[in-house]
């Protein structure tokens, strides 16, 4: 998809993926989402979000349209914040 461009079906699913992440961002669950500016084998995206449990986090990942349809692969990596910038979202948004 990166080297030859998306097919019409892939483009539709990527649009659904973006809408899904936008909805989660608007709800305050996604803190940031984006991808590298590269277009080679090192290209990857990252989504940082909060979830009340690992089970709910896994459901969020599994419900992403791009993951469900096999357009993108995802790996859930639980993360604990050590430092938080005053310029970022409020600390209360961080799940323990």
What's phi and psi for 30, nearest 5 deg? Answer: -85, 125
What confidence score (pLDDT) does residue 91 get?
61
Name the CATH superfamily housing domain 8-93: Dimeric alpha+beta barrel (3.30.70.1060)
User: Per-residue pLDDT tens for 13-38?
Assistant: 999 999 999 999 999 999 999 999 98
Give buried/exposed letters for 62-75 (b at 16+ CB in 10 A, else e). Answer: eebbbbeeebbeee
Structure tokens at 48: 């940082």
Cβ atoms of 94 and 81 closer than 8 Å: yes
Band of pLDDT at residue 50, cut at 50, 70 and 90: very high
What confidence score (pLDDT) does residue 96 get?
41
The yes-or-no verdict on residue 87 having pLDDT over 90 is: no
């Amino acid at each position: 998809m990166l080297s030859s461009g998306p097919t019409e079906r892939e483009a539709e699913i990527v649009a659904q993926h973006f809408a899904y992440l936008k909805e989660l961002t608007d709800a305050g669950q996604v803190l940031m989402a984006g991808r590298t500016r590269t277009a080679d084998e090192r290209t990857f995206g990252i989504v940082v979000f909060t979830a009340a449990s690992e089970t709910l986090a896994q459901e969020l990942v599994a419900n992403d349209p791009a993951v469900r349809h096999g357009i993108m692969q995802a790996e859930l990596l639980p993360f604990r914040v050590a430092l938080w910038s005053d310029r970022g979202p409020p600390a209360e948004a961080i799940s323990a």
